Amino acid sequence: QLVLTQSPSASASLGASVKLTCTLSSGHSNYAIAWHQQQPEKGPRYLMKLNSDGYHTKGDGIPDRFSGSSSGAERYLIISSLQSEDEADYYCQTWVTGIRVFGGGTKLTVL
Amino acid sequence: EVQVVESGGGLIQPGGSLRLSCAASGFTVSSSYMNWVRQAPGKGLEWVSLIYNSGSTYYADSVKGRFTISRDSSKNTLYLQMNSLRVEDTAVYYCARESDDFGHFQHWGQGTLVTVSS
């Protein structure tokens, strides 16, 4: 079964960097994922597609502060130079034929 | 500019029906993979349904047999017909268009709230 696992919460200081993790279930370590951001009281926004080799393509207008990387079954979202508006929920998402799957989301707090 | 705008949400009693609409601009709905995603209050995102450009449709187990996804090419609009609604269907429903290489959601709407309550 295709499952994405995320830590429920993370925190980092203003101006620092943070690395959020999304783990693919066993047997699916070569899958690509996407990262989405949801700021408080807003709809989700597409950030990037991230392949198993770490190659990523970002959505329109996504700042250079956002990047992605991969290692085995883990997919990472790295946010550098954290700003207050980065405080949001972050979801990873993947897909197979006829099914779309979300991780449980990580709530990022900017201290 | 690609844009999707949902409408049709509201308050409905358990067992009732509701049809959501997603009006698209900047692209052709019938040429795209389109999805409905929902978010219950205080919860995460849950995929609900998908329609391929071929017309094939897919559903989450939680809504299978109760919800129907469809589209109208003449109106460039996506729909979600929701029947036999339950309290647990209460959520904000989002329309999302997949990227041209399919699989990941590239464009999201602002959502429409469906409240199922007596």
Q: Kindly determine whether residue A49 and residue B99, on different chains, have CB atoms separated by under 8 Å.
A: yes
Report the residue of chain A nearest B5, measured CA to CA.
Answer: A43
CA distances from B72 to A68, A71, B31, B76, B103 (A): 37, 42, 12, 6, 22
Q: How confident is the model at residue B101 (pLDDT cuts 50, 70, 90)?
A: confident
β-strand pairing of B34-39 with B57-59:
unpaired
Q: Is A40 on the interface with B (CB under 8 A)?
A: no
Q: Residue B75 and residue B77: Cα distance in Å, rounded?
A: 5
Sheet holding A66-71, edge to edge: A4-6, A18-24, A74-79, A66-71
Q: Is B7 on the interface with A (CB under 8 A)?
A: no
Alpha carbon of A102: minimum distance to chain B alpha carbons (Å): 7
Nearest by CB to residue A104, choosing from B44, B105, B107, is B44
Element (H, E) at A109: strand A106-110
* Three-state DSSP string of chain B: CCEEEEECCEEECCCCCEEEEEEEECCCHHHCCEEEEEECCCCCEEEEEEECCCCCEEECCCCCCCEEEEEECCCCEEEEEECCCCHHHCEEEEEEEECCCCCCEEEECCCEEEEECC
Q: Kindly determine whether residue A89 and residue B108, on different chains, have CB atoms separated by under 8 Å.
A: no
The per-residue pLDDT string of chain A (111 residues; one tens digit each, 9 = 90 and over) reads: 999 999 999 999 999 999 999 999 999 999 999 999 999 999 999 999 999 999 999 999 999 999 999 999 999 999 999 999 999 999 999 999 999 999 999 999 999
Q: Kindly determine whether residue A91 and residue B44, on different chains, have CB atoms separated by under 8 Å.
A: yes
Report the residue of chain B nearest A101, measured CA to CA.
Answer: B47
Give me the mean pLDDT over the B90-115 stretch.
96
Report the residue of chain A nearest B102, measured CA to CA.
Answer: A95
Contacts of B50 in chain A (CB under 8 A): 98-100
